[in-house]
Structure 1
């Protein structure tokens, strides 16, 4: 009986020690969720990028914002070929790293800025041109912000997707090997009012 009691006491002690050690072991790390992306970035062909910037009549006096800029191609081309200052906004840090490297390679790092932030939190009041290649749903959700923050006369140019019932001033087709891509242009109307960002 003593031997059985000693064995039981030993097993209980081992069990308690194991439980105690388990409590001392750090819990597995909780993964940090990446920011939820409204759209997955897809690169615009250079021919489409050039047409977007031409249709928007981008020039040296412009500040171009690309919302969902990915690797920075619209921002870089706006600075390199059209002389504009430009700002790219994206949530993907890896794409932004590539964009910054691409700007250095293109020699325009001093005229472009890349921001890791949500496009809905971005202050657009400085922009004279906003470039979009998002989705129909995101464009519609973004429309009130564009009208609220952009100055009258500012241009909005979108690859492929419109802004709902706001008819574009101009629509251009860009024929590529696989299909024709649409480029839309709008100007913020004079009745739109610039309101302070919150």
Structure 2
């Protein structure tokens, strides 16, 4: 099997399992074993995300909220962003009703600044770093603005469902009798 015209992820998936000379029968049995291992690894990750408590300081309300929302891996990435919050300062540029246009600048010696816009009533907005648009997590600049305006829970507009705990529950909870051949 070649991966020409397809993603290299297929090749990466099979690299540890199958040599190039594998026959069809051997491929099918080893493929099944590989899927079982992936399923078990994902099940372990789901269990860890749902039932292993993450340690968060008592003064970190945003992180406490994130610990209840995000998978373990994404929580760690958000925690890395949260650790950078202290390196920035928020400067107001313009206020139009509930919408604030802000600049978040680094005060740690880096010449770094980002333009933000946030609606304090709807609790949505955007940042010039575009981390949320690319990765699906609020960036340290947005987290800085949340803390400045005493937003103690991550707004729904900044929570991407694919990174939340329990997203894959369908794969564990479906009932095969509910699946009809016509729907597949």
TM-score greater than 0.5 by the shorter chain: no
Which structure shows the bigger proportion of residues in strand conformation?
A: 1
TM-score of the aligned structures, taking structure 1 as reference length? 0.24
Which structure shows the bigger proportion of residues in helix conformation?
A: 2
Compare CA radii of gyration and give the structure with the larger one: 1
